[in-house]
Every structure is written in C-alpha cells, then in structure tokens.
C-alpha cells in the first residue's frame, strides 16, 4: 500500500475541527491529517485531460469582524473631550478668518482665551482620605437661559466646570470684543443656525474613531438641539466674562456698538431719527456698553446688546407711537414730526427675498413640521432634505444613509448660491434693504405742529398728555403693532421677547428718573438754590 501523501494548507488555513495544517485526498474527497473530512471539495470524473487534478475547491467567505473601540473613562475621557472641543473651536476660528475676513491674529486671541478657560479644570482625579485615586464624574457648567438679573460672582469663584459646546461660540465672540470687531451674538447664532459655522452638526464631523472612544456623557454634551434657543449664547458669554474677571482679572473691551446699532436699525427698517435718539440716550445714561463683571446685582439692561436693542425699542416708542394714539409735534423741529404707518411697516417686513419666495428660508428649517412636509412644494422640500442630510445624517450606518438618499438619486437640483458674496446679495445687504426703505418712505407722513396753548400764553412747560407713553410690562400688554415690532426686534437680537420687555421697562424707568431729576434741578435753579446735581451736559 502506497504511503499517504500529505499536502499543506494555504497560508492562514487549517482544519476547523482540530486545527491540523496538513491534508490528504482519498476517493475524490479531502481529509485533514487526523481524518476529519473537509468541506468544499467537489468530486469529479477523472480522465486523461484532468489527470492529477482534484476538482474545484470553494471556501466559505469569512465575515469581517467589526473592531469595537474601547471607551475611555476618567481623566482620559475628559482630556479627549477637551481635545474634541478644541478641534471644533479651531474649525470655527478658521472659518471666520477664511469666510468672514476676520484678521489673521484672531486665531491667536482665541487660542489664548481657550488656554485660560481650560487651565483650572479638574482634569486630573484627586485622592480620597484612604489614599485611593477617585474618578470624578464629568460636571458641565450650568449656564442658564434667563435674563441674568442676579449676581453670578459667587459661582464664578468656584473652580471652572467643564465647558460645553456653546462655549466655543462664546469664546469666538469674546475674541471679537478683544479685537473690537462689530459682530454680535445674533450673528453667531445666525451663522450656526444656517450651518455655515461648525456647531449644530459638529458631532457628525468628529472623526469616527474619536467618537467611538468618547464616553456616552460626552456624546450628549456634543449633541445639541436643532437650533440655539434665544438668549442661550448671551448667557454663555455673560458667565465667561464674569469668570475671566474673577479668576484672572481679565476685563474685556466694550462693545463696538455703532455698527451693530446701524444694523439693528436697518434690519428693522426704521427712520434715521432712531439713531440720533439712541445716541442721545446713550449720553444720558453714560453707557459704555461693557459687559458687567459682577460685584453687584446684574440687571437685564446691563447686558450691552440687550441695552442696545432696548434703546432702539424705546426710541421707536417715543418717536412713532405704537399704540395708535395721535401725539402731534409742538414744532417742525420736534423729532415726532414724522408718522410711521405701522400697517405698511408690517407689510414691508414680510419675507420679501427671492430666497424665501421659492426656497425654504435658511436658518429656519427646524421649524418645519410633519404637516408642512406633506404640503411643501418641491423646491422647499429639496432645501429641507439638504439641511436634514447635512445636519443629522452622519457616517454611523452607511446602509441607513443609502436608504434615505435612494428616492432622491439621479434628480437634477436647481443651483443655489454657494459663495459668501452670493449669499450676501440675497440676504440682509443690497436690494432687499433698498426695497424696504423705498416702500416705507412712500408711506411716511409729515405731521403739522400743534403748539400747546399754555406755551403761547404764559410759557408754561408742564407736561401734556402727548408727552406720556404707556408702560408695557408683559407680552399681553402690547398692542398689535407693538407686539409685531417687539417680536421682530427680539428675533434680530437673538433674545427672548420677555428679555426685551424687561430691558425696555428698565430703560424707561431709568429715563423717567433722569427726567424727574432734571425737572427738580430746573425748579431748584428757579428758586435760587445752589444744589450740586452732577454734570448737566446731557
């Protein structure tokens, strides 16, 4: 009997049962060295052409094993989370420099602010009384969304907690304060809401291997809602300003408010007289538009941007009554000589851009409901699907992405402006502003002056009914025209409506106190009393 001829398996193969690496053929079948039959060996009829062959061998394809990343924990998890935030912050800064023409040194300023922000964090775990190392749970800063009517210095004196994703936008904004750039928190909210600056979908842009190693609590911290709630970024900026002052004695420059004021006025399509009135009240209040740094009870109007939009609202309320009551001017020099047709203003302020006539308004995609999708036309539905894909479809499950995209494949899409200049031409600047002002100016009325009889007879300067304005404390107190105007102003400043209501009420109280003080000073002068009342230049 001829000896059995053994053959070696191919590299990486072996018997599934015993692991033998050699096999032999017998009766058109294949067996391992230990006699276990090997599957996948086909019988054949031997002939001269196929003499010495053993048939076709088929092998079962091995399933590719998925590598499961090890989740980091403790100090390593926190450090990786901070590195992710730093990556997102770097992307935001470079977008601002590349797309918004921010100065080149802006990146250095934000880097320095970030270094201070993470300097005192409890990254390394401490030791307990038994000398054992303890892993502290991640604690994030609790930045409220309120108006900030209370002092936060006591909270800031404690060790800083882990930053949140919104802190990245707040640090960019603080960099604008340092560099005196005329960017507002509303600008950052708009850029983030439109998906231009990396924020809402930042979690999807994190490398997959990094996401897999982040603990679940940091996933939640990096996944934000589909929009930034009004006042959220303002609260983050306020807390950072106070914390920098308390911890590092860092004071930020005041707001470069004049360009922002002009944009508020033009966005609201208001007459130029509003600008001069705001400037006068700025002198009266001696406001420098700096962020409060604690040490006292912080009011809503202490926030510089809230103060600015509140002054705009109060100026409009004084010059162009929103309650429908006629208040004729005393003379042609009276700034109340013009009358705004608020019904026409509401018509002018409707969405009149070419972008919103046939396309979905950018930045407001999150407002679309399931009912809207059923009745939406093709162009707006395409815009919504683009937004949904960019924001919420990551690279977690490729099959899921394919199923969502499949119904929309091979469809021609209308071209949309991609460059920044094209977006600006269809946005706030340009033709839209001119069209609004042309429509508003055509509806303005010049009122004839009606002098007070007392002024003509004996020079009496007592206040008349026309000099009084109503005080609105809540949204329910607002007349129809005032409600539309206040809501529009709050949206432009990216703050809640109740915050604007509080700010305007505080401005009016401050203005009433100044008027009373001035009247008292004039009466005392008439009586010959020498009373020091401070600077009367305002």
Which pLDDT score, from 0 to 100, does residue 524 have?
A: 72
H helices of 70-135, in order, are 74-99, 106-117
Mean pLDDT estimate for the chain:
77
Burial 477-502 (b: 16+ CB within 10 A, else e): ebbebbbbbbebbbebbbbbbbbbbb
- The secondary structure of 382-422 as a DSSP string is HHHHHHHHHHH--SS-HHHHHHHHGGGTT--------SHHH
8 Å CB contact between 149 and 300: yes
8 Å CB contact between 92 and 169: yes
**Predicted TM-score (pTM) of this structure:** 0.74
- The secondary structure of 119-140 as a DSSP string is TT---S--B-TTS-B--PPP-B
* Spatial distance between the Cα atoms of 520 and 524, rounded to a whole number of angstroms: 6
Tell me the pairing of strands 22-26 and 29-32. antiparallel
- The secondary structure of 32-63 as a DSSP string is ETTSPBPTTB------STTTT----B--PPPP
Q: Distance of alpha carbon 427 from its chain centroid, rounded?
A: 18
30 by DSSP, 3-state: which? strand
Q: pLDDT tens string for the chain (538 positions)?
A: 567 788 888 777 888 778 788 888 877 678 888 888 876 544 444 444 444 445 565 666 666 655 555 677 888 888 999 999 999 999 999 999 999 999 999 999 999 999 999 987 754 444 443 444 444 455 555 444 444 444 455 554 445 788 999 999 999 999 999 999 999 999 999 999 888 999 988 888 888 888 888 888 888 888 887 788 999 999 999 999 999 998 889 999 999 999 999 999 999 999 999 999 999 999 999 999 999 987 778 889 999 999 999 999 999 999 998 887 877 777 777 878 888 999 999 988 885 544 445 666 776 666 677 667 677 777 777 777 776 776 666 554 445 445 555 555 555 454 444 433 444 344 446 688 888 888 888 888 888 877 766 554 455 555 655 667 788 888 898 999 999 999 999 999 999 999 999 999 999 999 988 888 888 877 776 555 444 334 444 3
The two three-digit tokens of residue 144, written as one number: 């409220």
8 Å CB contact between 168 and 89: yes
* Spatial distance between the Cα atoms of 211 and 66, rounded to a whole number of angstroms: 16
* Spatial distance between the Cα atoms of 302 and 156, rounded to a whole number of angstroms: 18
**Structure-token match 């409009």, residue found:** 316
- The secondary structure of 321-384 as a DSSP string is -SSS-----SSTTSGGGEE--HHHHHHHTS--SHHHHHSPPTT-GGG--HHHHHH--HHHHHHH
Which H or E element spans position 25?
A: strand 22-26
Between the alpha carbon of residue 291 and those of residues 234, 288, 294, 387, 495, the distances in Å are: 11, 9, 9, 35, 16
Which H or E element spans position 23?
A: strand 22-26
Which pLDDT score, from 0 to 100, does residue 280 have?
A: 93
Which pLDDT score, from 0 to 100, does residue 91 have?
A: 95
* Spatial distance between the Cα atoms of 393 and 201, rounded to a whole number of angstroms: 9
The two three-digit tokens of residue 53, written as one number: 């062959």
* Spatial distance between the Cα atoms of 495 and 10, rounded to a whole number of angstroms: 70
* Spatial distance between the Cα atoms of 498 and 310, rounded to a whole number of angstroms: 12
Which pLDDT score, from 0 to 100, does residue 537 have?
A: 41
Which residues, 6 or more positions from 65, have their beta carbon under 8 angstroms from its beta carbon?
none
């Amino acid at each position: 009997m001829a000896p059995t001829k053994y053959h070696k398996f191919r590299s990486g193969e072996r018997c599934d049962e015993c692991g033998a690496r050699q096999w032999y053929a017998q009766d058109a079948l294949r067996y391992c060295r230990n006699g276990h039959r090997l599957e996948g060996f086909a019988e054949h009829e031997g002939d001269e052409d196929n003499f010495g062959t053993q048939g076709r061998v088929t092998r079962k394809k091995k399933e590719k094993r998925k590598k499961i990343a090890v989740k980091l924990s403790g100090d390593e998890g926190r450090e990786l989370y901070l590195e992710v935030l730093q990556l997102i912050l770097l992307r935001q800064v470079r977008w601002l420099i590349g797309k918004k023409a921010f100065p080149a040194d802006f990146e250095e300023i934000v880097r320095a602010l970030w270094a201070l922000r993470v300097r005192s964090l409890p990254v390394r775990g401490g030791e307990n009384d038994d000398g054992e190392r303890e892993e502290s749970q991640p604690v994030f800063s609790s930045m409220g969304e309120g108006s900030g009517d209370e002092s936060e210095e006591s909270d800031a004196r404690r060790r800083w907690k882990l930053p949140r994703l919104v802190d990245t936008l707040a640090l960019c904004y603080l960099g604008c304060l340092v560099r005196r750039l005329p960017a507002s928190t509303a600008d950052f909210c708009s850029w983030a809401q439109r998906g231009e600056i990396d924020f809402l979908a930042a979690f999807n842009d994190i490398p997959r291997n990094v996401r897999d190693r982040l603990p679940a609590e940091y996933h939640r911290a990096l996944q934000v809602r589909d929009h930034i709630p009004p006042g959220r970024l303002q609260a983050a900026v306020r807390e950072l300003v106070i914390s920098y002052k308390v911890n590092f004695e860092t004071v930020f420059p005041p707001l470069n408010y004049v360009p922002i004021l002009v944009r508020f006025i033009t966005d609201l399509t208001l007459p130029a007289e509003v600008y001069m009135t705001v400037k006068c009240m700025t002198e009266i209040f001696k406001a420098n538009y700096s962020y409060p740094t604690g040490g006292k009870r912080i009011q809503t109007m202490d926030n510089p941007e809230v103060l600015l939009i509140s002054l705009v609202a109060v100026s409009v309320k004084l010059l162009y009554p929103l309650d429908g009551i006629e208040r004729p001017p005393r003379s042609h020099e009276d700034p109340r000589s013009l009358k705004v047709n608020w019904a026409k203003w509401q018509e002018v302020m409707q969405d009149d851009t070419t972008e919103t006539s046939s396309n979905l308004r950018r930045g407001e995609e999150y407002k679309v409901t399931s009912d809207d999708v059923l009745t939406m036309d093709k162009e707006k539905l395409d815009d919504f699907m683009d937004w949904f894909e960019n924001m919420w479809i990551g690279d977690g499950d490729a099959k899921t992405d394919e199923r969502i995209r499949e119904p929309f494949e091979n469809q021609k899409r209308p071209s949309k402006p991609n460059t920044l200049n094209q977006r600006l031409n269809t946005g706030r600047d340009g033709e839209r502003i001119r069209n609004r002002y042309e429509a508003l100016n055509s509806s303005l009325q010049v009122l004839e002056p009606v002098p007070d009889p007392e002024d003509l007879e004996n020079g009496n300067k007592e206040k008349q009914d026309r000099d009084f304005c109503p005080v609105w404390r809540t949204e329910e107190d607002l007349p129809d025209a005032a409600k539309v105007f206040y809501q529009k102003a709050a949206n432009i400043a990216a703050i809640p409506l109740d915050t604007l209501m509080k700010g305007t009420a505080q401005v009016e109280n401050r203005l009433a106190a100044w008027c009373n003080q001035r009247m008292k000073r004039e009466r005392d002068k008439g009586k010959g009393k020498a009373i020091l009342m401070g600077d009367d230049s305002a």
